[in-house]
Structure 1
């Protein structure tokens, strides 16, 4: 495990995940940081820069030009290793697994050697101290970079990851993660687990707005990110990425809920 320590971050910290090749959303979160007077050295991405949407190389370049800290997601690891699938942790043969073939093929063709070399050097864990609290940022899990941890996952799953994480980093008070696409918080004794959400795809709630988080004065708040989702969807369609994620940017609903725990899925009537 490669660990990058950022030292003491004394002001607000903007936490975001999953740009997902969505260039308009990436530029929008950069603009929101500017509006909030948060510098790039106080921004941290939980990984998966490249995924579902239409501008993978451009999004990677935007993040690199921003200069914020980035944790390696499964997509970065797979692209850096020249692998032929996204390594997302979808069940083999599931709808999400089958849909991933289209967008990953597009991303794999678009990402050049320079971006892959940069991705190969990204840390697995980023640590920092904020208002006296020790914080650690990961992608999915320590056991597996693509492990899905949901707001309803068993306490034992979080405890397992926390124990392994602290075996690497030492005691932490706050864990920040990504991967699952939903922003949430859980508390385990004195440790708070935060998923910052993703900016590149809505959280399956019927609105195109996505999510990010801000850590300020020791507390975390979640914020909505509005951006030109119609432009992002149009770019996808122009490039033939019409497997369903293009519509998700507009409708706010994922093309498949198979990956979600049953209690987080929409009722059949709501799905239409």
Structure 2
């Protein structure tokens, strides 16, 4: 496990996951951060810069040029290794499994070698302190980078991941995670688990806006972000990514609902 320590942070932090090759949403997030007076050093991405949308290379460039700390997601790991699939952990035959072949092939064709090197250097875990609390950021889980952990997951799932995490980095008060795409904050076993959601895709709520979180004084708040959805959709259509996610960014309903627990289906 590659661990990066950001030290003690006094300022507010902007937490986000999954840019997902959505250049327009990533641009909007940087504008939002500037409006809030948050610089790139105090933003944190939980991985999967590249995925469903149409601009993998340009979105990666924007993240790199801004200087935002990034936790390695499964997409970063797979692209850095030159793998032929996203490594998302989808069950064989599910909609996610079938649709991932299209967007991953597009990303794999566009992402440059220098961007793969950047992805390969991303930390597996980023730790920092704020407001007297110690946080650790990861992608899906420590036991499995592509583990789907939801707001409705069993407490034992959280406890297992927290124990595995603390075996690497010591005691934490909060965990910042991504991968699953739907934001939530849940207190479990004395630790606050924060999933900030993703900015590249709406959280399957029937709306087009995406999510991020602000961490202030050691407390997290989930926030909503609007962006130029029409331009993002048009770009996906231009590059032939029309398997359903081009509609999802507009309708807010995933074509891959079968990956979700029944309690979170639309």
State the TM bucket, normalised to the shorter chain: over 0.9
Q: Tell me, what secondary structure is at the counterpart of 2:248?
A: helix
Q: Which residue of 2 aligns with 1:182?
A: 182
Q: Tell me, what secondary structure is at the counterpart of 1:234?
A: helix
Unaligned runs of 5+ in 1: 267-272
Q: Measure how far apart 1:50 and its partner are.
A: 0.1
Q: Which residue of 2 aligns with 1:231?
A: 231
Q: Measure how far apart 1:68 and its partner are.
A: 1.1
- The superposition leaves residues 67-99 of structure 1 with CA deviations (integer Å, 9 ceiling, x where unpaired) of 011000000000000000000111011111000
Q: Which residue of 2 aligns with 1:269?
A: none
Q: Which residue of 2 aligns with 1:124?
A: 124
Q: Which residue of 1 aligns with 2:16?
A: 16
Q: Which residue of 2 aligns with 1:103?
A: 103
Matches of 1:216 and 1:81, distance apart in 2: 36
Matches of 2:173 and 2:218, distance apart in 1: 11
Q: Which residue of 2 aligns with 1:25?
A: 25
Aligned pairs (5 A) from 1:20-169: 20-169=20-169
Q: Which residue of 1 aligns with 2:197?
A: 197
Alignment of 1:246 with 2:246, yes or no, is yes
Matches of 1:238 and 1:88, distance apart in 2: 25
Matches of 2:199 and 2:149, distance apart in 1: 18
- The superposition leaves residues 192-229 of structure 1 with CA deviations (integer Å, 9 ceiling, x where unpaired) of 00001000000011110000000012211111010001
Q: Measure how far apart 1:189 and its partner are.
A: 3.3
Matches of 2:189 and 2:55, distance apart in 1: 41
- The superposition leaves residues 118-147 of structure 1 with CA deviations (integer Å, 9 ceiling, x where unpaired) of 110100000000011000000000001000
Q: Tell me, what secondary structure is at the counterpart of 1:70?
A: coil
Q: Tell me, what secondary structure is at the counterpart of 2:235?
A: helix
- The superposition leaves residues 137-165 of structure 1 with CA deviations (integer Å, 9 ceiling, x where unpaired) of 00000001000000000000000000010
Which segment is superposed worse, 186-195 or 100-109?
A: 186-195
Aligned residue pairs: how many? 266
Q: Which residue of 2 aligns with 1:207?
A: 207
